Structure 1
Amino acid sequence: MAHSESVLEQGIGLGPTIIPQVNGLPPAEHEDDTRLSAWANKYRGATVADLDLPPALSTSPNTSLADAMLTATSRDFSHLTVLSDNTRSLLGYLSVAKLKQLFESRQLQPSDPVSKVMVKFQRKRSEGRAAYKVITMETELYELEGFFEDIGPFATGAKQDFAVVTDPNRKFVLGVVTRSDLESFVKRRPA
């Protein structure tokens, strides 16, 4: 009788090799995957649209810091997005807390333009930095929490305190979402 060999069909890849632990059990699931799974269960398919965010408040790079601060504090916003005067494209953001700090230390004058202190978004991957992540109304909340915690497909290389919500093509700023928005959503949503 001829000896037959087992040959895998062409094009069928082998799955990952699973090496059992010393006790013979399969390895524990990766910690990040476990956290993402727990968040997916917590939010149960909810998306950014379910947060009912107020419309974004934006400013121009040429606006005075005094005007930007007045606009933000009158509406109790922690961040303002900065849009180009010409194209209305998203350029970066202004942190109100950081702005207050710089005013108090007298490093800035109220008449200075927003462009002097705004944080510019990193659009493309550069050395040591992740590319800009697009957060839309369709982004699931577990992915958003992953963005905040720097875990999963929306990880940027650093934890984040807020996210700018845009349309998928990044042409329109629709809102700004913070960690506290997620916490409020969980508190008001029935278990």
Structure 2
Amino acid sequence: MPFSDKDTTPTPSLPRGAKYRGAVVEDLQLPPAFCLPHDAPISLALEAAYEREFDQLPVLNDRRKPIGYLYIPDLKSKSEKGEAGLEDPLSRHVTHFPLSSKTHPYTIISPMTPLEDLEDFFAARNVDFALVTDDERRWVLAVATKTDLETFVKRRG
């Protein structure tokens, strides 16, 4: 089998973050987050996710603070199997965020967070998305995904 130059020529590794060229989360141009209160019915979550083509929806407590998220494909599957009623409150099906602690410190991802830091967050936490908040964590502004990063790099070339 013949070898190509790709097979024999080592590719130089890029410095950390070089593929992002100084870009920050704001440069991803993410759509605004759509958040739901923990007592909203599942039917509202499924409808909102379908209309907006979202896979994850942040869930807020009574003080409008994020407490967790819904992974819509799982929620849809539970609903279809009869494991979740359309009028069930979201609180019965939410995946809660771990409370901030030394073993699970809260990481703020804001519009000004460098994309290499977002990539590190995904890798360190082994997650596929992050909530983008203001610096004081008062408001959920958007949801960033690994796919958003990949698309950004491809678009920039």
Q: In the alignment, is residue 92 of structure 1 matched against residue 59 of structure 2?
A: no
Amino acid of the structure 1 residue aligned with 2:29:
D
Unaligned residue ranges in structure 2 (runs of 5+)? 1-12
Once residues 149 and 139 of structure 2 are traced to their aligned partners in structure 1, the CA distance between those partners, rounded to angstroms, is 22
Structural mapping, 1:1-191, within 5 Å = 38-85=15-62, 87-125=63-101, 129-150=103-124, 158-189=125-156, 191=157
- How large is the Cα RMSD of the aligned pairs? 1.6
SS at match of 1:168: coil
Partners of 2:72 and 2:126 lie apart in 1 by: 19
**If the length of structure 2 is used for normalisation, what is the TM-score?**
0.86
**Offset of 1:124 from its aligned partner?**
1.6
- Distance in 2, matches of 1:71 and 1:39, equals 37
Contact 1:39–1:142 under 8 Å retained in 2? yes
Q: CA deviation at 1:140?
A: 0.6
Q: Displaced runs of 4+ in structure 1, greater than 3 A? A: none
Corresponding letter in the other structure for 1:122:
P
Query: Structure 1 residue 147: deviation in Å?
Result: 0.9
Q: Report 1 or 2 for greater relative contact order, CA contacts < 8 Å, sequence distance ≥ 6.
A: 2
Q: Deviations over 1:97-145 (max 9, x none)?
A: 111121233211111000001112223226xx42221111111101111
Residue number in structure 2 paired with 1:21: none
Rg larger for: 1
